[in-house]
Structure 1
Amino acid sequence: MIFGRTTIVVLLLLIQIVILFVTFNWLADYTVFIYGAFTLLSGAVLIYIINDDQNASFKMAWIIPVLVIPVFGTLLYLFMKFQFGTKFIKRSMDDTGKIIKPLLIQNPDVLNSLQEINPNEAGLVRYLNNSAGYSIYANSSVKYFPLGEDKFKEMLIQLEAAKKFIFLEYFIVAKGYMWNSILEILKRKVNEGVEVRFMYDGTCSLFLLPYNYPKELIKFGIQCKMFSPIKPILSTHQTNRDHRKILVIDGHVAFTGGINLADEYINLEVRFGHWKDTAIMVSGDAVKSFTLMFLQMWNIKEQVPEIYENYICENVQVMKDNEDLVDNVILTDNVILADNVMPTDNNNNMSADNVKSADNGMSAGGYVMPFGDSPFDGENIGKNVYIDIINRAKNYVHIMTPYLILDDEMIAALIYAAQRDVETIIITPHIPDKVYTYLLARTYYRELLEKGVKIYEYTPGFIHAKVFTSDDEKAVVGTINLDFRSLYLHFECAAYIYRNPEIFKIEEDFQNTRLQSHEMTLEDCRKFPVVKKFLGQVLRLFAPLM
């Protein structure tokens, strides 16, 4: 504990902070001149902040310290603003993005078929394609997992079936039954000639894994690396964590969702009551996007050129009959892909009747659009997809999220939906993993409840799912929380699902979760302890950092 790397990192960071304060104290004799200079500098910084294109909540979070403590606040802002680490990551991702962009070109036939069904959906696809290069796919299937235990079982099956390559990218990895079971398969697969790459976020090195853990795995033939290891240097790019959860096998199947590789995610370790989490498995053409998403992150610091085409599996050949796509059933090694368009009833509404589904429980049909979000791409893609769903909802929008830390735009969208008589429901944890995030989330309850948004707390424990469903025809399952860190600061990923029958299962799971949850009322808000209310209101000043 005393000589561990985590303790050393914390001590070195504290030393740097002490040096800053000592420097300020040393300059105390020149207070008048320094304060005058910093008054002018802070004025210039304030003008810059107000005119910057960042979110208003981030602006307010910086305006307050610059005004209240102008010397320290101004220096801190300048220090955080001009970081070379973030510029390097951005440049590297831009370079790799240019290489993989030709591999993600949108199939015009798929987009045209979607345009005929719903022009508004085609507009969302064009946004994601133009802003980040992601495409929507018709020949893909989806399987939804309402619990971490369910996903874990399927993971083991698919890992055992791997023949060419396995890519894993996770935010949290902890030694235990779940990770040890997976690791044993990975070792065996390496010996069978399967290429295995494993990447996890550097925060694991603080408490969960040894700092040199990648070297241990490399001895087994597993290519392994940490993303952005925590270093004892004050730097902003260390707040930009890799929050993605991606597993790709042979280019045939891909997993994503909220579930990390630790025993609490499959309820073998109880930390905050029952751990409710979700995930999906995707097969078919849509796997291509997850494959390239992983490789782009993997190659941020790689010097050896990557041959990306080697990992693209063309699962299907799109067939045309004159100008229309032909419905077709296509067999791959492990899955059945069917019907490029979701069956509809006579009113062109999505219908669960006559849906083709594979023996392994995967639902085919409709459209699937995987997408990633980066803090350096100039676009808040995850947030914009969520707001698009909320704003275009006609009957309902249902949300599961572990954290409810909202900016003004998200609050306005939720209230606007509720006031249009769209059933707007959010399920959050009753037993939080972090007390401060719960206190902060409670500060939004009254405002939302008064405007018609319904909020439920999952009473059995902690809900870690990140799920949106709307109108029985669209859903998002991925890693993106409703908080500032996910929407602005982290690398994230998800899949947008449209008119696929698995949406019915996702909505069914939402309703089952709702039955296990307590509906919050204004009376609950009034009874919440005054001290906790005040602490939450204070924390709201720092909401953009949480």
Structure 2
Amino acid sequence: MKKENKELFEKSKRGALQLLFSRFGIILVLLLIQVLLLFGLLNYVATNYIHLYYTVNLVFTLTGYTLLFNSSSDNSVKMTWMVVFTVLPVVGILLYLYTQLEFGHRYERRRLIDIIRNSHHLIQSQPKVKKELEANKDLKGIVSFLNQTNTYPAYRNSDVTYFPSGEEKFAALLEELKQAKSFIFMEYFIVGKGEMWSAILEILIQKAQEGVEVRFMYDGFCEFSLLPRSYSKELEKMGIKCRVFSPIQPFVSTVYNFRDHRKICVIDGQVAFTGGVNLADEYINKVERFGHWKDTAVRVKGEAVESFTLMFLQIWANNSDTSDFGQWLNVPKEKILKDDEAKGWVVPYADSPLDAERVGEMIYFDLLNKAQDSVQIMSPYLILDGEMETALTFAAKRGVKVDLILPHVPDKKYAFALAKSHYKTLIEAGVNIYEYTPGFVHAKVFLVDQYKATVGTVNLDYRSFYHHFECGVYLEDVPSIEEISEDFKKTLSLSQKVTLEDVQKEKALTKITGWVLKIFAPLM
């Protein structure tokens, strides 16, 4: 019996050893070791949680600060991210890395760069104009800057008409559309069904039936609230070639932060429109949303139109090829002015958030820093970075009369609160702030020393400076400057001046809201 028990024990021992050193046994042992290590780690974390928490937060915060201070961001943007890193170190740095790694628009950036590289040579300043530009060192500097990122020539043989309201621009636009014979290119941020759009659409359909090339592009944000998602296909069925810029898709991407805020219409390469006026009834006061809607626009005729044609084609080509650029650019230009009547300069320009230059803001900087006597501004928003606030206050402190007209009836209450957070600093520096009492100002106009101006789509806010595709036209010594000046005087007469006493009497809630939102303004 003892012998049998011994043999049974030896047999069991061999079986246990075989099981232990078998593949299954080794896996089981490794699993047990991992479980023990996991429990040990959990126990360590549980007993040392506070130390680990602060160590991880410190590492993430320092990493975030290091990346941030070595970036080329504006100081206001850096300050905002510093607050985010301090409050939410791990989440903040991950969010920052997500935005900086450009998920979703790396391809779009490369595509746009290639399009510009392959098309910038298609329009150039005339040799005679280049020679005349040499004598204007001030303007030459602006043109030189603009041509760092794209081709934006200066033009002499162009006529500019200024429209002090959306209604006047709308009437002129309808008449010009009716005269189209070859092509119509339209690119707008907002399109809303109503009287304005119906009248335009009727003409576009008719022109498409007549064989006119009609291309229409609108920002994908319209699909959220204004247009059905299938609307582009509906337009295609009507004979209108349609593109939706950056349509909203069911996945997260930083590309959605970059919107096409431009307003461009080009007809036959002979006429172009730009300015603040979108294609919805509030822009022509057919419906009232925020009191009277004050807007502006310009019509350009002549050689400068080719710049707007190229702007449109470059964005349109993001979803198509570039082979037809020459067809639409190489059109004979009507002689608008005689050589001895070619007064002033016209320089259309565009701004893209996908390159390194803040073109719209730099144009404003140049106008402010070179102003000698007066700066007159109309803008719907006042959400300033530190550089722009400094430029405005410095101009006023130099003795330049700086007048700024903003809305009295806001379209966005948070934007209004943010604007008011800048009032005290600006007024104390000598900037005159006025609010347009009849309603909402949507115009984007700078007029300097009564001979230089820019009219376009660029607001005085972070979105226009950093996140939007924008456009405008720089004007110098052109007859329409006088029209801009008269419109500013008229608008000023309908506006009330804001004093420091008014700022002090502002509601506490508005002040607090502005102060808090100002921290996060660069991210809004």
What's the TM-score once normalised by structure 1's chain length?
0.85
1:154-184, CA deviations, whole angstroms, 9 ceiling, x for partnerless residues? 1110100000100000000000000011001
1:414-472, CA deviations, whole angstroms, 9 ceiling, x for partnerless residues? 11111111111100000000000000000101100011110000000000000001112
Number of the residue aligned with 2:76: 57
Instruction: Provide the aligned length of Structure 1 versus Structure 2.
Output: 478
Amino acid at match of 1:68: V
Q: Which runs of 4+ in 1 moved over 3 A?
A: 28-39, 313-316
Q: Higher helix share goes to which structure?
A: 2
Amino acid at match of 1:523: E
Equivalences for 1:50-129 in 2 at 5 Å? Answer: 50-116=69-135, 118-129=136-147
Q: CA deviation at 1:34?
A: 6.8
1:456 is aligned, of 425, 434, 440, to 434
Cα root mean square deviation, aligned:
1.6
Number of the residue aligned with 1:495: 473
Looking at structure 1, the residues matched to 96 and 49 of structure 2 have their Cα atoms a distance apart, in angstroms, of 20
Equivalences for 1:175-186 in 2 at 5 Å? Answer: 175-186=193-204
Number of the residue aligned with 1:429: 407
Computing the radius of gyration over CA atoms, which structure comes out larger, 1 or 2?
2
1:298-351, CA deviations, whole angstroms, 9 ceiling, x for partnerless residues? 11132x3432111115555xxxxxxxxxxxxxx55xxx32446xxxxxxxxxxx
Structure 1 spans left out of the alignment, 5+ residues: 1-27, 317-330, 341-355, 357-363
Looking at structure 1, the residues matched to 339 and 404 of structure 2 have their Cα atoms a distance apart, in angstroms, of 33
Number of the residue aligned with 2:325: 308
Amino acid at match of 1:464: H
Looking at structure 2, the residues matched to 165 and 105 of structure 1 have their Cα atoms a distance apart, in angstroms, of 22
- Whether contact under 8 Å (1:250, 1:313) holds in the other structure is no
What's the TM-score once normalised by structure 2's chain length?
0.88
Number of the residue aligned with 2:385: 407
Looking at structure 1, the residues matched to 462 and 332 of structure 2 have their Cα atoms a distance apart, in angstroms, of 37
- Whether contact under 8 Å (1:274, 1:461) holds in the other structure is yes
Q: CA deviation at 1:232?
A: 2.8
1:442 is aligned, of 420, 429, 452, to 420
Looking at structure 2, the residues matched to 61 and 458 of structure 1 have their Cα atoms a distance apart, in angstroms, of 31
- Whether contact under 8 Å (2:454, 2:473) holds in the other structure is yes
Q: CA deviation at 1:77?
A: 1.4
Number of the residue aligned with 1:475: 453
Q: CA deviation at 1:35?
A: 6.0
SS at match of 1:132: coil
SS at match of 2:287: coil
Amino acid at match of 1:308: F
- Whether contact under 8 Å (1:141, 1:365) holds in the other structure is no
Number of the residue aligned with 1:154: 172
- Whether contact under 8 Å (1:258, 1:465) holds in the other structure is yes
- Whether contact under 8 Å (2:162, 2:297) holds in the other structure is yes
Equivalences for 1:70-469 in 2 at 5 Å? Answer: 70-116=89-135, 118-302=136-320, 304-316=321-333, 332=335, 336-339=336-339, 365-469=343-447
Amino acid at match of 1:67: T
Q: CA deviation at 1:234?
A: 2.3
Q: CA deviation at 1:121?
A: 1.4
- Whether contact under 8 Å (2:103, 2:254) holds in the other structure is no
Change (3 A) 1:493 1:31: farther
- Whether contact under 8 Å (1:148, 1:277) holds in the other structure is yes
Change (3 A) 1:100 1:305: closer
SS at match of 1:337: coil
Equivalences for 1:22-37 in 2 at 5 Å? Answer: 36-37=55-56
Q: CA deviation at 1:50?
A: 0.8
Looking at structure 2, the residues matched to 76 and 31 of structure 1 have their Cα atoms a distance apart, in angstroms, of 24
